[in-house]
Homo-oligomer: A and B are copies of this chain.
Amino acid sequence: MVAHEPPRSRLPRAERELQVLDAARALFAARGFRDVTMDAVAAAVGVTKPLLYNYFGNKEQLYLACVRRTGEELEQAVSAAVAAAPTPGEALKAALRTFFAFVERDRGAWQVLYDESLPTAGPIAEAMDGYRARIAAPVAGAFAGLGGSAVQAEALAHGQLAAAEAMSRWWLATDALPARELAELLIDTLEPGLAQRATAPAPEEGTP
């Protein structure tokens, strides 16, 4: 009655590592760091736990290995988009479009990068904070270029990045709209207000 699993044994390390990484990332995306056990990863790949530990060290490092490539890609994509834009306003739009495009292209990758069940302390927390901060930085820069005080820009950047994340999560759950439209929707909503900020002479805060 048991499906006769083809013997997948004795693969070269590089190949096995990719297998593990794929299986692990899928599990982490689906259930979150906390609810994925090393046993589950091992079972998904069809190997035993010690192999996982031989290759990746421990659970945190396995998680980070799942995240690394993806995280760096998103970092670079966002900062390249921002750098290439002629004005802060365009930079912000480009950043948001890049972000949503990324989410749409690889749901799993994004979910792992923005996992909400990660430990809030220790090396993993630091690494993830690093990724998120480096992704957020160019966006904050764009906001800062648009007028208002520096604190205000930071607050807005935090807020609208979270808005983008939330819209992404909502999109993952509902699939109600093409992700690209979400980018335009958010951009359209913000643009006039930001244009107005840019022309105003940036007082301490709010309206004169």
Contacts of A191 in B (CB 8 A): 193
A43 within 8 A of B: no
**Which residues of chain A (183-208) have a CB below 8 Å from chain B?**
184-186, 188-197, 205-207
A120 within 8 A of B: yes
Contacts of A196 in B (CB 8 A): 188, 192
A119 and B119 CA atoms in complex are apart in Å by: 14
A34 within 8 A of B: yes
User: Is there contact, CB below 8 Å, between B184 and A155?
Assistant: no
User: Is there contact, CB below 8 Å, between B170 and A156?
Assistant: no
Contacts of A206 in B (CB 8 A): 181, 184-185, 188
User: Is there contact, CB below 8 Å, between A185 and B117?
Assistant: no
Contacts of A31 in B (CB 8 A): 120
Taking the full assembly, how many copies of this chain does it contain? Answer: 4
Q: Which of A2-10, A64-72, A161-169 contacts B (4 or more CB under 8 A)?
A: A161-169
Contact of A189 among B162, B165, B194 (CB under 8 A): B194
A208 and B185 CA atoms in complex are apart in Å by: 13
A32 within 8 A of B: yes
User: Is there contact, CB below 8 Å, between A159 and B166?
Assistant: yes
User: Is there contact, CB below 8 Å, between A167 and B155?
Assistant: yes
A83 within 8 A of B: no
Contacts of A190 in B (CB 8 A): 189-190, 193
Closest Cβ of chain B to A195, distance in Å, is 8
Chain A residues at the B interface, C-beta cutoff of 8 Å: 31-32, 34-35, 116-117, 119-120, 148, 151-152, 154-156, 158-167, 169-171, 176-177, 181-182, 184-186, 188-197, 205-207
Of the A-B pairs whose beta carbons lie under 8 Å apart in the complex, a sample of 14, sorted by A's number, is A32-B120, A35-B120, A148-B185, A152-B177, A154-B176, A155-B170, A155-B185, A159-B170, A185-B206, A188-B207, A189-B194, A190-B190, A191-B193, A192-B195
